[in-house]
Amino acid sequence: MLSFGSTSSSTPSAVNFDHFQILRAIGKGSFGKVCIVQKRDTEKMYAMKYMNKQQCIERDEVRNVFRELEILQEIEHVFLVNLWYSFQDEEDMFMVVDLLLGGDLRYHLQQNVQFTEETVKLYICEMALALDYLRSQHIIHRDVKPDNILLDEQGHAHLTDFNIATIIRDGERATALAGTKPYMAPEIFHSFLSGGTGYSFEVDWWSLGIMAYELLRGWRPYDIHSNNPVESLVQLFSTVSVQYSSAWSKEMVALLRKLLTVNPEHRFSCLAHIQASAQLSAVVWSDVCEKRVEPAFVPNKGRLHCDPTFELEEMILESRPLHKKKKRLAKNKSRDNSKDSSQSENDYLQECLEAIQQDFVIFNREK
């Protein structure tokens, strides 16, 4: 019997697809699509990510989805994109999360937004609070980058996408080569090559430094691409030194240097380091926590900060459009009932689908 994780039984009052009105498609990730939805009873708006079960099985990504759900169900923070509900039907797994309409930082970089030091400093503070919280929950995110930082309409930063996050308990170290290469800390490559002692929470703070540099300058401090071999990257970190812009304040350069320290033992890698730094001595942290510090960059109100082609794709190209789901599932049911189940074309696929159905954890944060 296949199993993907902890078992949960659905209760009659569990939230499901019918409790939401689909408003529009806004994007797609590596193996899921995202749309804006409104919960019918409360009229609250959310983002809903949905992942096709069969595709997840074919790409061997079911465990990743379960892992992400397991993590998201246990955490909640003002600077994270929080999970509110998870549920499933025959075709898809659904995650309903905070709706953030300010777009991600990659989108704004592509729109050539000139981020000021003041703006980037606030992002560093907000992300420092998020990362410190994750550390308290034993979580390494492993994919901090502009694509995974979403802004709300006021311009505050929120970390999303726990697809490759990992949980490490007391004194454990992570060893997997996981992340997006240009943002991955040197010790991840080092550990992979030499089988050393592994790595820990410090890797997320390196990624934060790379991202902060990129926001300020428009390009990253190291010329690293996904196809660079690991050996060459280990060499790179020991030979190339980061060039800081002369236009930046001494304080900002000092802060970036501390985040981009190759040796993790000497790197800024917790909230206490950040709070004690001369560069951020004027920050009123209670105000940051309460979102009382006004961001200098506020996304344009009334503009949806995403690629408009997603909506078209969902309507025209999508073979299983969401708005026709009810009709389709009813049709499938009658087809299934008329088919001799012993003539199943793909037993393994069927077994996997049944395992997902059984192991998927239904979640409702309101309860």
* CATH (domain of 199): 1.10.510.10
**Same structural domain, 199 and 144:** yes
**Same structural domain, 82 and 118:** no
- ∠ CA 105-276-82 to the nearest 5 degrees? 40
Taking the C-alpha atoms of residue 225 and residue 147, their distance in angstroms, rounded to an integer, is 16
- Of the CA atoms within 13 Å of residue 31, those in its CB half-sphere come to 20
**Same structural domain, 282 and 312:** no
Taking the C-alpha atoms of residue 27 and residue 306, their distance in angstroms, rounded to an integer, is 7
Write down the mean pLDDT value for the chain: 89
In a domain? residue 226? yes
**Same structural domain, 229 and 244:** yes
**Same structural domain, 278 and 315:** no
- ∠ CA 234-145-36 to the nearest 5 degrees? 150
> Given 262, 289, 316, which residue is the final one in a domain?
289
Give the tens place of pLDDT for each residue, 184-235. 999 999 999 888 789 999 999 999 999 999 999 999 999 999 999 999 999 9
In a domain? residue 1? no
**Same structural domain, 255 and 313:** no
| Ligand-binding site membership of 258 (annotated) | no
- Work out the widest C-alpha separation in the chain, in whole angstroms: 73
Amino acid at the residue 249: S
Looking at residue 31, its pLDDT comes to 62
**Same structural domain, 322 and 203:** no
Angle, nearest 10°, between helix axes 62-72 and 347-359?
A: 0
Looking at residue 343, its pLDDT comes to 45
Looking at residue 10, its pLDDT comes to 47
In a domain? residue 321? yes
Contact partners, residue 304, CB within 8 Å, separation at least 6: 26, 101
> Given 254, 289, 324, which residue is the final one in a domain?
289
pLDDT (average), residues 234-253:
95
φ/ψ of residue 35, rounded to 5: -140, 160
In a domain? residue 298? no
- Separation of CA 143 from chain center: 7
- ∠ CA 142-148-150 to the nearest 5 degrees? 145
**Same structural domain, 285 and 311:** no
Give the tens place of pLDDT for each residue, 112-128. 999 999 999 999 999 99
Name which residue leads in pLDDT, 12 or 88.
88
In a domain? residue 2? no
- Separation of CA 248 from chain center: 29
Confidence of residue 342 (pLDDT cuts 50, 70, 90): very low
Taking the C-alpha atoms of residue 357 and residue 2, their distance in angstroms, rounded to an integer, is 11
Give the tens place of pLDDT for each residue, 282-305. 999 999 999 999 999 999 876 666
Looking at residue 339, its pLDDT comes to 54
Taking the C-alpha atoms of residue 304 and residue 292, their distance in angstroms, rounded to an integer, is 24
Which one of 92, 104, 132, 143 is the catalytic residue? 143
pLDDT (average), residues 134-161:
97
Q: Is 92 a catalytic residue?
A: no
Taking the C-alpha atoms of residue 20 and residue 37, their distance in angstroms, rounded to an integer, is 6
Region of poorest pLDDT, from 5-9, 14-18, 175-179: 5-9
**Same structural domain, 156 and 40:** no
> Given 234, 261, 289, which residue is the final one in a domain?
289
Which residue segment(s) compose the domain that 53 sits in? 17-99+307-362
In a domain? residue 207? yes
Residue written as token pair 């790409």: 59
- Above pLDDT 70, what percent of the chain? 84
Handedness of CA 291, 164, 224, 150 (dihedral sign): negative
Contact partners, residue 170, CB within 8 Å, separation at least 6: none
* Helix (H), strand (E) at residue 78: none
- ∠ CA 258-262-267 to the nearest 5 degrees? 35
- ∠ CA 282-285-291 to the nearest 5 degrees? 115
Give the tens place of pLDDT for each residue, 247-285. 999 999 999 999 999 999 999 999 999 999 888 999 999
**Same structural domain, 92 and 110:** no
**Same structural domain, 187 and 53:** no
- Look at the pTM and tell me if it is higher than 0.85: yes
CATH number of the domain encompassing residue 43: 3.30.200.20
User: What 3-state DSSP class applies to 350?
Assistant: helix
In a domain? residue 217? yes
Helices (H), the chain: 53-58, 62-72, 105-110, 117-136, 186-194, 202-217, 230-239, 250-259, 271-276, 285-289, 309-312, 325-338, 347-359
Asked if 48 and 322 touch (Cβ cutoff 8 Å), the reply is: no
Give the tens place of pLDDT for each residue, 77-95. 999 999 999 999 999 999 9
- What's the number of domains the chain is made of? 2
**Same structural domain, 195 and 235:** yes
